[in-house]
Amino acid sequence: MENASNALLMAAEVLIGVMIISLAVYLFHSFADYSREMNIKMEATILDEFNNQFLKYTDTNVTLHDILGLASLAKKYDDENELTESDYDEDGEKSTYIRIDIGNEKFIEQYSEEKIIKLIKDRSLNIANNDFRYYKCIAGNYRIGPNSKRIYYMKFEEI
């Protein structure tokens, strides 16, 4: 009788141990899922903040200086990620390089200081009424990559 009682106690201990291990595994998976979801949300928030730096200039009138500020931001991003013009993909399938155009001027973010000064002299002021020239990036003139969901192209036209 004593052996049966000891066997029941051992079985109960094993059962409690299995229950504790099962609870630990369940909690581990729950916390892992929560952590994964939070990482996805944080990455989406970071991506939205990054895109908003550029997208706030869509559908609004901007000056050449605003565009050059965007080009500087794009160049900083491209340089930090060691990207060059050859990394630019027209379809955006794999493009992480950010390109800024103004009318016929292509890849403004790669302009030298001299070209930027010339661009400012040529395109900054409207001589006729001694006022700033304004530009606009309409909906069809910016692109977000289908895979990266990151903006990779903006084109501004004079209005």
* In a shared domain, residues 41 and 111: no
pLDDT at 158: 87
DSSP string over 114-157: HHHHHHHHHHSEETTTTEE--EEB-GGGEEE-TTT--EEEEEEE
pLDDT at 145: 83
* In a shared domain, residues 72 and 119: yes
- Residue 137's φ and ψ, nearest 5 degrees, are -110, 100
* In a shared domain, residues 107 and 159: yes
pLDDT at 22: 94
- Cα radius of gyration (the chain): 29
* In a shared domain, residues 115 and 38: no
Q: Indicate left, alpha or beta for 82 from its phi (over 0: left) and psi (-120 to 50: alpha).
A: left
Q: What is the pLDDT along the chain (159 residues), one digit of tens a residue?
A: 678 888 888 999 999 999 999 999 999 999 999 999 999 999 999 999 999 999 888 888 898 889 999 999 999 998 998 888 888 877 777 778 899 999 888 898 989 999 998 888 888 777 666 678 889 987 778 888 887 888 888 999 988
* In a shared domain, residues 115 and 127: yes
pLDDT at 38: 94
Collapse the DSSP code of 74 into the 3-class scheme (helix H, G, I; strand E, B; otherwise coil) and give the result: helix
* In a shared domain, residues 75 and 122: yes
pLDDT at 6: 87
* In a shared domain, residues 95 and 140: yes
10 Å CB burial of residue 96 (0-12, 13-18, 19+) is middle
* In a shared domain, residues 46 and 77: no
* In a shared domain, residues 83 and 156: yes
Where does a domain end: 55, 78, 95?
55
Q: Tell me how long the chain is.
A: 159
* In a shared domain, residues 50 and 73: no
pLDDT at 91: 74
Q: Which domain holds residue 29?
A: 1-55
pLDDT at 155: 92
Distance in Å from the first CA to the final CA of the chain: 98
* In a shared domain, residues 3 and 44: yes
